[in-house]
Every structure is written in structure tokens, then in C-alpha cells.
Amino acid sequence: MINPVGSDELKPLFVYDVNEHEQLMHEAESLPSIVVSSQAAANAVMLGGGYFSPLKGYMNVADAMGAADKMTLTDGSFFPVPIMCLVESTEAIGDAKRIALRDPNVEGNPVLAVMDIENIEEVTDEQMQFMTEKVYRTTDVEHPGVATFNSQGRIALSGPIKVLNFSYFITDFPDTFRTAVEIRNEIKERGWNKVVAFQTRNPMHLAHEELCHMAMERTGADGLVIHMLLGKLKPGDIPAPVRDAAIRKMVELYFPPNSVMVTGYGFDMLYAGPREAVLHAYFRQNMGATHFIIGRDHAGVGDYYGAFDAQTIFDEEVPPGALQIEIFKADHTAWSKKLNKVVMMREAPDHTKDDFILLSGTKVREMLGQGIAPPPEFSRPEVAQILIDYYQSLNK
């Protein structure tokens, strides 16, 4: 089985030992505490689940700047984006060296983790601008990731953490949320050796489904892990429960039994395009995938990134040997009227645009909202029905 990044074994930060967990929960109630941002909370969930292994906690400013600049921390290890705990004020914790981090996304702000503070640093405007520009390739506040990153505060708390719960992800998505530890164990149990991972924050239409079939066939994979983002999205994106239902219906009807795991992870979308693609590959290797599909405008938003920047970054910027996972580079896929099947557009050089069935996201949303299913060459009817029900519920 593929090794986790930078280590022979996964290093999740969740406290699995029952006695230690109970003891820490008890201690946390008497510690100074702070309610962290949603992004910092999501970072804790990912650290807890082993997705960001072998990180031990939140980065200090030097490591965050190194991750942003060259994807390299001060000790020489590889990590593609800053993983920070940025706060607006330290008034609630004073000069405490050990604190409880509280969850902003759950009523009552329960304890998420216990942290040993190594540094409290002021992040300058210049440092924030540098990290923003490097990670997001823009400082435009209209970019949802830029806006979120820069709205958290300018004080960085860094140091190791011990994670005590997985926020709302276990209660809201009990059948879907899985840690990297759990996915790795299930891959082992299924006896899969080659595993393709597919990232999604949207329901999967026919082109996505066929892309997964193509990737499995061409890599000789034993299994597919559809790994959906369950955290915060931008307004207008389809909620996770609806996506989950649509994807499960597609897998049930159109994939062989026991060939697919439908899972999800607790993270807020960055919309960081190429950098987020590298982060996605990083934690897919940690969860045990050997191959990762990256298509057109992966993790992008608006017109901030070139169509294939999320693929070329692996050749041009990721340090050699940093990742073992292989990238399956995909083009836009669509139904060919000439061939009567879904193809990658670059593999049909004799086609013009009119030879494909192409629908914009806006057009598809309009159709669904009106109770009209997209053509079967675009979307499976059973999937379309789930989405129609959702969009029509918005109009009631």
C-alpha cells in the first residue's frame, strides 16, 4: 500500500485512547479557551483525521510563509498551503501556554482540540498579502477563498494540538464522513492495491461518472474512492446532503458492486485552484489512493486560473519526489454526438464544439429549477430527479 506523505505511517492527531480522551476533555473545561474560525476548525478536523499527516499542529508564520512560497517548511518538509490558526484577539487566553480550541460551527462551541502554544505572532499586512498572492494567485477580495483567508484576524497561534472531536461532520454525515485512517483501513480490508480518488464539491453528471470509469480502466485500478467535500462552500453551491444522495444513487445503479467507496472529508473549500489541487493530492495519498483525477479548472472559481494550471503545477512547482501519488490528467469530458458516448474532448480532434452536448451550469440549474431533466447524454435521469426535487424545494 502507498505510504503516507513523508512517513511510513499515518500520524493522525485525534486522541483515540479512551482514557486519555476523557482526561483531556475534563482538563479542557478548565483551560483558557478561544472560539476559532471555521477555516482553523476545518484544519483541526483534517489534522485529527490524519489527512495532513505528519503535521503536528498549526504552523508558525515562518512555516506558513515557506508553505506559501515554495511549498517547503523550515525543516525542509513538504506542505503545499499554510495551515494556520488565525485569531483576532488573544484576550480570552492571555499568556496561557495550553488552551482549548472551541468549535465555531456547533451550537455551544464545544471543545475541538487542546493546543500547546509555542508561538503567538502578529502577521503583517505584507505577510498576509504574500501568502494570499502565492496560494490564491490573486489578492482580489471578490475571490471567495481570498476573502475568507483574510477575514480571520492577524494573530497566528501555532503549536501541536490533540484533537478531541470531528465537529459537525460525524453527526451531519454519519454515513459519509471518514478519516484518512478509516479510508486506509477499508482499502486494506477490500484488498485494493491501485486506488483512484475523485474529488467533488458538486453532484456528478454523466461526464464525471464516465471519467471515473476511464481512469479506473486506464490505471488498472481495483477501486474508486469518491471523496466529497463536506465543509463550507460559497453561496449557491449545492448542499452536501443533496450531493451525497445524488452520488450514492449513481454509484448504486451504474458501477459494479464493491468497486466504489462514497466518502467525504471535513474541510472548507479554499477555491485555490492549482495550490488546492496539490493539497488534494497530498491528503489523497495519506488516505491510501495511488492515483488522483485532476480535470479542467480543478478547485477553481471564476476566471482566476487557466484551464489546466492545476495539472501543470505538479510538473512545474511541486518539488521532485514530494508526492508518490500519480496524477491522472483529464480533459473536459462530454457526450460526443458522432461517437454516441462520453469522450475526453482532446481525444476527439475531428470534433467541433457542435459535435458535443455541452450545457452551462447556469442552464442546467435553470432546467432543474423548472422541473426539466437535462438530456440523458448529460445526466442520469435518477440523479437529475434528486436535483430537481432539491431545486424545486427552493422555490416553495
Instruction: Say how many domains are in the chain.
Output: 2
Confirm if 273 and 306 have CB atoms less than 8 A apart.
Answer: no
Q: How far apart are the C-alpha atoms of 125 and 121, rounded to whole Å?
A: 13
Average pLDDT estimate for 137-147: 96
Give residue-wise pLDDT tens across range 344-362: 999 999 999 999 999 888 8
Q: Which of 109, 119, 185, 202 is catalytic?
A: 202
Give residue-wise pLDDT tens across range 325-336: 999 999 999 999
Tell me, what amino acid is at 345? M
Give residue-wise pLDDT tens across range 39-88: 999 999 999 999 999 999 999 999 999 999 999 999 999 999 999 999 99
Residues 387, 348 share a domain:
yes
Average pLDDT estimate for 262-288: 96
Percent of the chain at pLDDT above 70?
Answer: 100
* Residue that is written with C-alpha cell 472531536 in the block: 165
pLDDT band at 150 (very low <50, low <70, confident <90, very high): very high
The whole-number pLDDT of residue 202 equals 86
Residues 364, 293 share a domain:
yes
Residues 139, 194 share a domain:
no
Q: What is the CATH number of the domain that holds 363?
A: 3.40.50.620
Domain that holds residue 31: 18-170
Residues 230, 216 share a domain:
yes
Q: How far apart are the C-alpha atoms of 13 and 386, rounded to whole Å?
A: 37
Q: What is the mean pLDDT of the chain?
A: 95
DSSP 285: H
3: in domain:
no
Q: Is 193 annotated in the active site?
A: no
The whole-number pLDDT of residue 356 equals 94
Confirm if 161 and 57 have CB atoms less than 8 A apart.
Answer: yes
5: in domain:
no
* Residue that is written with C-alpha cell 435518477 in the block: 382
Residues 329, 270 share a domain:
yes
The whole-number pLDDT of residue 266 equals 95
Q: Which of 98, 154, 201, 248 is catalytic?
A: 201
Q: Which of 142, 170, 198 delimits the end of a domain?
A: 170
27: in domain:
yes
Q: What is the CATH number of the domain that holds 39?
A: 3.10.400.10
Average pLDDT estimate for 157-180: 96
Q: How far apart are the C-alpha atoms of 177 and 156, rounded to whole Å?
A: 28
Residue 330: CB atoms within 10 A of its CB come to: 22
Tell me, what amino acid is at 131? M
Angle at 10 between CA 255 and CA 110, to 5 degrees: 90
Q: Is 185 annotated in the active site?
A: no
> Does residue 235 register a pLDDT over 90?
no
